[in-house]
Amino acid sequence: MSRIGKKAVAVPNGVTVTIDGQTVTVRGPKGQLAWTVAEEIEVRQEGAEILLAKRQETTRAQAMWGLSRTLVANMVQGVTQGYEQTLELVGVGYRAAMKGQALSMQLGFSHDVDIKPPEGITFATPKQTEIKISGIDKQLVGETAARIRRIRPPEPYKGKGVRYAGESVRRKEGKKK
């Protein structure tokens, strides 16, 4: 049984939540997000809390209950604080720089890799070997970070590549004579 679905989502000051049928819209200081909750889940607002409940006792309703609560909580946090993901570039000559809004990276290819940010995402390069991806949509921030990492994932022999901040790369032993 879902324990997370039972918890109410707290709505802080400055955030407005609109429930129109199954669509939940959250507006805050950083922007606006909307999501359509599954039909098996009932959403209601009581004061400064959002409560979710199952309409039926099915396996799918059980699964969607906790998921829906988490996604609504992520929307509330996104419009108040936002989300940020940090990537590190490890390797000789690997560096990143901003070209206007786009991100330009040198990753050992014969050409630079340029990436335009999706709608709602901003890139920053505090250091040449560090990329910060920020936005209000948790899924979009994580997906953008994963797409950038996929261009040159860390390899197991020298550890070169694009990795998440704090990620440990399992190293292999090289050839022996």
What is the end-to-end Cα distance of the chain in Å, rounded? 57
Task: Say how far residue 97 (Cα) sits from the centre of its chain.
Answer: 22
Among the listed residues 21, 130, 23, 37, the one whose alpha carbon sits nearest the alpha carbon of residue 85: 130
Per-residue DSSP letters for 105-159? Answer: EE-SSSS-EEEPPPTTEEEE-SSTTEEEEEES-HHHHHHHHHHHHHHSPPPTTT-
What pTM was estimated for this model as a whole?
A: 0.88
Q: How many CB atoms lie within 10 A of CB 170?
A: 7
Q: For residues 130 and 145, is the Cβ–Cβ distance under 8 A?
A: no
For the chain, which domains are there?
Answer: 4-80 (3.90.930.12), 83-164 (3.90.930.12)
Among the listed residues 174, 136, 145, the one whose alpha carbon sits nearest the alpha carbon of residue 157: 174
User: What pLDDT, in 10s, does the model give residues 117-153?
Assistant: 999 999 999 999 999 999 999 999 999 999 999 999 9
pLDDT of residue 2: 59
**Bridge partners of 119?**
none
User: What pLDDT, in 10s, does the model give residues 58-83?
Assistant: 999 999 999 999 999 999 999 999 99
User: What pLDDT, in 10s, does the model give residues 148-177?
Assistant: 999 999 999 998 999 999 989 899 988 887
